[in-house]
Amino acid sequence: MNLVIDVGNTSIKVGVFEKDIMIHRENLKLNDFQKCIEKLHQDYSSINKAILSSVANFQEKEIAFLKNKFNTLILDHTLKMPFQNLYATPTTLGVDRLALVAAAVCQFPKKDTLIIDAGTCITYDFKNKDECYLGGAIAPGIGLRYASLNNYTSKLPLLSLEVPKNHIGDSTNQSIHSGVVNGILYEIEGAIAEYCNTYPDLTVILTGGDAHFLSKRLKNSIFATSNFLLEGLNYILAFNNSQ
């Protein structure tokens, strides 16, 4: 069994895999990390390997606690990847993006694939049918867009996500909802269209915390999945253990 851990900007996602099948998943806060790991160590005694991906400032004591329980890989750009990384600055590439591309290689081999991860940020990552990672884009996510309108203006309110009633907002609140939600939908649709101009057989994956909300409102044919990053981590762990 494998234990995979994704430390994001807002939460920690944990998955237990039996080969390539996830049999347990949970989301937790940093304060609950050691308690969760201790329980998983007791409940799944067959776990013998773990992999940790962190885009946040994860404390060394938490890493040491994990390593004390399991044989643990820390995901970084030095690990072997199942694809050729053509990013111009590989040491600055977020480890979460590495895991997403690995999942695409595993689940959609020999296909031009765009992975859109809609979380705190919206990232776009592209690998071609030759299993070469070319790069992508980083944009503010839904929550960041709402927050920035409040933080960087003197009078606009801080709102929570809401489906706009119309493309034409008839109040300040509705204008903000339209600008944030429809703006993101236009952005994603436009990005997909641009990629399709060059790669007409494009496979599109939508994942991340806001994937379910967005997938119901996108016109393009996409694969929406909430576990794509965790599946990529599991594949990287298996890939490195097989080398």
- The pLDDT value recorded for residue 59 is 84
| 10-61 tens-digit pLDDT | 789 999 999 999 999 999 988 899 999 999 999 999 999 999 999 877 888 9
Confidence band for 229, pLDDT divided at 50, 70 and 90? very high
Q: What is the pLDDT of residues 52-90, one digit of tens each?
A: 999 877 888 999 999 999 999 999 999 999 999 999 999
Full set of structural domains in the chain with CATH: 2-74 (3.30.420.40), 84-233 (3.30.420.40)
Give the per-residue SS3 of the chain. CEEEEEECCCCEEEEEEECCEEEEEEEECHHHHHHHHHHHHHHCCCCCEEEEEECCCCCHHHHHHHHHHCEEEECCCCCCCCCEECCCCHHHCCHHHHHHHHHHHHHCCCCCEEEEEECCEEEEEEECCCCEEEEEEEEECHHHHHHHHHHCCCCCCCCCCCCCCCCCCCCHHHHHHHHHHHHHHHHHHHHHHHHHHHCCCCEEEEECCCHHHHHCCCCCCCEECCCHHHHHHHHHHHHHHCC
Catalytic residues: 96
- Tell me the pLDDT tens digit for each residue of 168-218: 999 999 999 999 999 999 999 999 999 999 999 999 999 999 999 999 999
pLDDT at residue 219 tops 90: no
pLDDT band at 140 (very low <50, low <70, confident <90, very high): very high
**Residues 14 and 23: beta-carbon distance below 8 Å:** no
Q: Give the pLDDT score at 206.
A: 96
pLDDT, position 183: 97
- Tell me, what's the pLDDT at 243? 67
